[in-house]
Amino acid sequence: MSQSKVRVRFAPSPTGPLHIGGVRTALYNYLFAKKYGGTFLLRIEDTDQKRFVEGAEEYIIESLKWLNILPTEGVGLGGDLGPYRQSERKDIYPKYTQQLLDAGHAYYAFDTPEELTAKRLEAEAEKQVFKYSSASRMEMKNALSLGDAEAKKLIDSGTPWVIRLKIPADEQVVFQDQVRGEVTYSTNELDDKVLMKTDGLPTYHMANIVDDHLMEISHVIRGEEWLPSTPTHVLLYRYLGWEETMPEFFHLPLILKPTGKGKMSKRDGAKLGIPVFPIDYVVNGILDAPGFREKGFLPQAVINFLVLLGWNPGTDQEVFSLEDLATIFDPKRINKSGARYDFDKAKWFNQQYIMMANDDELAAMARPVFEAQGYHPEDHLLKNICRLLKERVTSIAEFWDQGYYFFEDVTEFDNEKIVRKKWKPVSRGLLEDLMTRIDGLEDYNAEAIENTVKAYMEETGIGFGDVLPFLRLGVSGTMKGPPVFEIMELIGKQTVSHRMKAGFDKFDAIKSQQNQ
Ligand code: GLU
């Protein structure tokens, strides 16, 4: 791989939120550029005005920013080979369609949408698929069937036209795909794609090839769904005289549903309640598609999860930072077969990254979660909550689920069985006595509380099992939380004391229900 001139691009169409498959494409391009010391640029392919969605471009950029894989050239970033938004490059393309027309590789066509629909329906009735191609073009309304003079007349009189690529019959188009090896298509499988539309804008195929050429793209890394378009692209490079510098192609495998069958779609995500988009996508104030960010994922975890959907490092290592990946990412290890979207794995990665994150970072991420519940904790408290809970959560959102008791009284216990078993007639007296001592502590901290409890146990001969479950349940409602003395310190003397009093009544009540 040449080290000096690597230039890759992410070229999304702003037609809606960026699916996780698109994010993976951006990631692989980013890593490829990093690995080979090249440039990664962002081009917005917005020539299809009908599918254009306001705000989609901003969404794409915000997503890439959040994930830390923003290109260094392109839309919003500058560069010498812009503009990078295709709608701003309108004037560039006609020269090249003209070149194709002049060389006889393209032609004007005048079929109306109605005529084309009629052809399609006709074919469907015979269980065929209509294709505008070498086999059918002479029956259609175009410069080849009508002759140049007639075509000129139609153009001059203002008849709407498109320009189509003239794909020859009976040829083989052979190209190397860096993921799947040599790929061959017969031109008979291809159709005479529209290159320039009635509105004077190029289609994806035309604009994409012209721009990849003018932007000096060396490698095209994109999803497998573009593989069938590639023979057409190869012909375009050939007919424009650019085959020598044609980029190398990498077509990335599909991302499959968790069952392993079929492509993972937005609908599957909604059905399974799992995100397939990087960040929330909101339309007119309504959440259209939930994102990983708002579900409490760290960007590093999403990157780590995604990089392994379609690539393998060749070792057992699973956890990689973006920096690690930039050196070890080997495009030869991109897989051919589809990758199953295993959301549990995403959660596992998130857990790993939460455990590795420092408490300041976590507190900053968790703050909105607590604020959404109406609490505005001091930094010190929030940091400590994160420190205590980070081994136990799989997402930032769970800091609330697992730590609500730092702010709100306990309403239920997650283990009443232990109360029924261990709460004895003498328990209340003993624990009240213990609480009086704890309440009397001047320096109310975890160590002092622990020492008081231990001293009391020694004095009275009771065991941990007679004390700790009740402190835990009374203070936090759960037997599964972090060390109870630390929780007590953070919650503070007054609240603890008040909760324990309420707790004693509840323990009594549970016990008396049992005895009835
Ligand atoms: N605009 C295309 C897309 O939305 C780009 C495909 C390509 O990378 O060539 O994915």
Task: Report the nearest atom of ligand 1 relative to the CA of 45.
Answer: 1
Which is catalytic among the residues 266, 345, 422, 493? Answer: 266
Task: Name the token pair of 141.
Answer: 């309304």
In sequence order, what are the beta bridge partners of 281? 289
257 counts as catalytic? no
The side-by-side arrangement of strands in the sheet containing 194-196 is 106-109, 162-165, 194-196
Q: Kindly report the protein residue whose alpha carbon is nearest to atom 3 of ligand 1.
A: 12
Give SS3 for 155: helix
For residue 11 and ligand 1, the question of a CB distance below 6 A is answered with yes
How far apart CA 193 and CA 379 sit, in angstroms, is 60
Give kind and range of the element (H or E) at residue 266: helix 266-272
- Pure H helices in 426-463: 427-439, 446-460
Torsion of CA 149, 154, 160, 166, to 10 degrees: -20
Tell me, using a 6 A CB cutoff, whether residue 232 lines ligand 1.
no
Whether 48 lines ligand 1, by a CB cut-off of 6 Å, is no
CA distance 331 to 174: 21
Q: Quick one: tokens of 462?
A: 């009771």
Helix (H, G, I), strand (E, B) or coil at 220: strand
45 lines ligand 1 (CB under 6 A): yes
Q: How many residues does the chain have?
A: 516
What angle do helix axes 464-476 and 446-460 make, rounded to 10 degrees? 140
Residue 151 Cα to ligand 1 middle (Å): 33
Predicted confidence pLDDT, tens digits, the chain (516 residues): 444 599 999 999 999 999 999 999 999 999 999 999 999 999 999 999 889 999 999 999 999 999 999 999 999 999 999 999 999 999 999 999 999 999 999 999 999 999 999 999 999 999 999 999 999 999 999 999 999 999 999 999 999 999 999 999 999 999 999 999 999 999 999 999 999 998 889 999 999 999 999 999 999 999 999 999 999 999 999 999 999 999 999 999 999 999 999 999 999 999 999 999 999 999 999 999 999 999 999 999 999 999 999 999 999 999 999 999 999 999 999 999 999 999 999 999 999 999 999 999 999 999 999 999 999 999 999 999 999 999 999 999 999 999 999 999 998 999 999 999 999 999 999 999 999 999 999 999 999 999 999 999 999 999 999 999 999 999 999 999 999 999 999 999 999 999 999 999 999 999 988 777
> Ligand 1 atom closest to Cα of 15?
4
Closest ligand 1 atom to residue 221 Cα is 8
| Two structure tokens written together for 434 | 């213990």
Kindly state if the Cβ of 247 falls inside 6 Å of ligand 1. Answer: no
At 157 the three-state DSSP class reads: coil
d(CA 354, CA 351): 5
Choose the residue to mutate in 25, 203, 204, 246 for probing ligand 1, maximizing ligand atoms within 8 Å of C-beta.
204
Rounded CA-CA distance 359/367 in Å is: 12
Structure tokens at 274: 């799992």
Residue 222 Cα to ligand 1 middle (Å): 7
pLDDT for the residue numbered 199: 86
CA pair distance 49, 64, nearest whole angstrom: 23
208 lines ligand 1 (CB under 6 A): yes
Query: What span, in angstroms and rounded, lies between the C-alpha atoms of 268 and 261?
Result: 12
CB 474 within 8 A of CB 410: yes
* Contact call for residues 403 and 491 (beta carbons, < 8 A): no
CB atoms within 10 A of CB 229: 15
The predicted pLDDT at position 4 comes to: 52
Distance from C-alpha of 371 to C-alpha of 366, rounded to nearest angstrom: 9
Q: How many CA atoms lie within 13 A of 48 on its CB side?
A: 17
CA of 173 to the centre of ligand 1 (A): 21
Q: Is 402 in the pocket of ligand 1 (CB under 6 A)?
A: no
Summarize the chain as % helix, strand, coil (round to 5). 50, 10, 35
